[in-house]
Structure 1
């Protein structure tokens, strides 16, 4: 066992201990408590709050520092709530019972399900994206998901279990996983994908005013299957526990680049309206040094 793997093992032990203690609490208290634990204790240690502030400054340079700090804290609180909700799947599902989908895409999805046409739900790290899968499962439609295996193999083992518990099957982002995901949808099933992570093997798509490497895989798969593509969002409500579920107008099947630009624009509108709902903790545009260099180049371009 290497020193790195020892560190991963110890980190996972601590994480699992925190989860076990939290699961002893009543559901509502559990969600609030774990959100505060992550926001005020864990996020500062691992640098999430700092990264969120840096990303916010890059996108909203005119925003007061105090406002960036407030949003970064809310982002980390939401992240913590997401974690414990996903480790409380049965209770999370019970909490979502009766929560209905709204929006212009709802009728289109119902028609596609009746026709057994493949449905691809597209979303980002916004609100609690897993709530969409859980809500569909509550309606009797398990939703297949794709995930990036975590770097910590010990954590990954139980993390994957949270993705497959109740919601539907989950497949790794590998050739074999992609094929299984496609088979699920080709048989008339529903799949869900998140597209708002940095994918350096692909070209940039403008996102929140700046180029961001974006995978075209969602569009490519949808075109291959002739799937109905619907942006789906689960925004956390003001009580911090409930969700507003919305299925937007379907995205027209066209060229992959055009489809990804439209997907990015849909998510962008929601982030601008409610920035604290999105996970600013990701390196969506690059590392802090890269962001600074990019901002300087853009300023020079505007001055010339």
Structure 2
């Protein structure tokens, strides 16, 4: 029964993508954004989840404001999805977009020295554009990804990622080893660190404990790679993007490095609150865990 449901969901998504792919690029991006924000997200409960997370972090925020932000987040996510299935047009758009920041020179220096670059980013803007922008510079970018729960969707999800910029390695022992090898050999790799990784320890994110994988920091330390935060955001016209190469993270203890990465991402989200993926489950039962931690410290 679950497989039938997965097939139906995947078929529906493929149908939508196929239909809008016949439309010119700019209209295609806007149409798919609208469909996601005003049709798919409400039906899937994403708007409700976004409001819950926003009010968890900003309890003083009026519900109407939180709902408006969650809606714009869903629209951005829809635009991101169809852009990533339109790789040639997206790559062309990025050739004319602003790409800068204090870490850009360090990026080029590391590669010139044969040193790997471990990019760490979050689900903000179109988070795949950083890889496309770097690929435009002539550097393939490997990705480490968590398989989608829908096996039919996952099949073309992986193919799409690989077609964008380079190899995509599935999380797991084999995939992680290949990913690390790519970095150690002087390659560029990217990983989104702001997913809830329940098997790992907590890092403070917006003042609440958030389970966070230490992989980006550990890989950088293990391989000697440059650990570079890069963030993207969507411009006001809804089509163009900016890619910001932040200052590299200095080597230290993995937890401290991940905490600094979280602070950097938090600063970006405060600038662009309607472009981060508030509709995903970042904190889990953060309030309960925070209360337990506080009580244990008092004891």
**Which residue does the alignment assign to 2:140?**
142
Structure 1 residue 96: Cα displacement: 1.0
Q: In the alignment, is the contact (CA less than 8 A) between 1:127 and 1:236 conserved in 2? A: yes
**Which residue does the alignment assign to 2:230?**
232
Distance 2:137 2:51 in 1: 38
Structure 1 residue 101: Cα displacement: 2.1
Match of 2:217 among 193, 205, 219: 219
Q: Deviations over 1:175-210 (max 9, x none)?
A: 111111111111211000100011111111100110
Q: In the alignment, is the contact (CA less than 8 A) between 2:123 and 2:276 conserved in 1? A: yes
CA RMSD of aligned residues (A): 1.7
Distance change (3 Å), C-alpha of 1:115 and 1:72: same
Q: Deviations over 1:106-151 (max 9, x none)?
A: 1100101111101011100010110000001111001101110111
Distance 1:272 1:256 in 2: 24
Structure 1 residue 291: Cα displacement: 5.3
Match of 1:26 among 24, 32, 40: 24
Distance change (3 Å), C-alpha of 1:226 and 1:45: same
**Which residue does the alignment assign to 2:112?**
114
**Which residue does the alignment assign to 1:186?**
184
Match of 2:58 among 47, 60, 67: 60
Distance change (3 Å), C-alpha of 1:296 and 1:68: farther
Distance 1:272 1:298 in 2: 26
**Which residue does the alignment assign to 1:6?**
4
TM-score between both structures, scaled by the size of structure 1: 0.94
Match of 2:45 among 44, 47, 64: 47
Distance change (3 Å), C-alpha of 1:34 and 1:296: same
Match of 2:128 among 104, 127, 130: 130
Q: Deviations over 1:261-286 (max 9, x none)?
A: 00000001111222111000111111
Alignment of 1:268-287 (within 5 A): 268-286=266-284
Distance 2:144 2:47 in 1: 26
Q: In the alignment, is the contact (CA less than 8 A) between 1:123 and 1:267 conserved in 2? A: yes
Match of 2:87 among 82, 86, 89: 89
Give the paired residue count.
Answer: 296
**Which residue does the alignment assign to 1:168?**
166
* 1:166 counterpart SS class: helix
Distance 1:115 1:253 in 2: 18
Distance change (3 Å), C-alpha of 1:296 and 1:257: closer
Check if 1:257 corresponds to 2:251: no
TM-score between both structures, scaled by the size of structure 2: 0.95
**Which residue does the alignment assign to 2:67?**
69
* 2:30 counterpart SS class: helix
